[in-house]
Amino acid sequence: MENRVGSGQGSSIAEHGLVVIRTQTATVRNLSKFIRVIFGIHLRFKAYSSPIRITGAGHGIGKELALRYASLGATVVCWDLNQEANEETLSEIKKTGTTAAYAYQCDVSKREQVFSVAEKVKKEVGDVTILVNNAGIMPCHAFLDHTIDEIKRIFDINVLAHFWMLQAFLPSMIEKNHGHVVALSSLAGIGGLPNLVPYCASKFAVRGLMESISEELRISTKGKSLIKFTTIYPYMVDTGLCKKPKIRFPNAMPLVSPGQTASQIIRAQRCDYRERSVPPVWLPLGIMLKNLPDNALFTLIDFCDSGVQAVS
Note the pLDDT of residue 199.
Answer: 96
Q: Is the dihedral of CA 16, 18, 22, 28 positive or negative?
A: positive
Note the pLDDT of residue 118.
Answer: 98
CATH 3.10.20.30 fits 50-308, yes or no: no
Note the pLDDT of residue 105.
Answer: 98
Q: Which one from 199, 233, 235, 273 is the annotated catalytic residue? A: 199
Residues 6+ apart with CB under 8 A from 295: none
Note the pLDDT of residue 31.
Answer: 52
What element of type H or E holds 88? helix 83-95
Note the pLDDT of residue 239.
Answer: 76
Give the count of alpha carbons within 13 A of 83, CB side only: 3
Looking at this protein, which amino acid is placed at residue 280? P
Does 199 participate in catalysis according to the annotation? Answer: yes
Q: Whose CA is closest to 39, among 285, 287, 272, 288?
A: 272
Fill in the DSSP letter of residue 46.
Answer: P
| Angle between helix 83-95 and 60-71 (nearest 10) | 30
- DSSP letters, 192-259, are --TT-HHHHHHHHHHHHHHHHHHHHHHHHTTT---EEEEEEEE--BSSSS-SSEE-S-TTTSPPBPHH
CB atoms under 10 Å from CB of 91, counted, come to 11
Per-residue pLDDT of the chain (312 residues; tens, 9 = 90+): 444 444 455 545 444 444 443 444 455 455 544 544 444 444 444 557 679 999 999 999 999 999 999 999 999 999 999 999 999 999 999 998 888 999 999 999 999 999 999 999 999 999 999 999 999 999 999 999 999 999 999 999 999 999 999 999 999 999 999 999 999 999 999 999 999 999 999 999 999 999 999 999 999 999 999 999 999 999 888 777 766 777 777 777 778 899 999 999 999 999 999 999 999 998 999 889 889 999 998 998 888 888 787 887
What is the rounded distance in angstroms from the CA atom of residue 77 to the CA atom of residue 60?
16
Note the pLDDT of residue 308.
Answer: 81
Looking at this protein, which amino acid is placed at residue 250? P
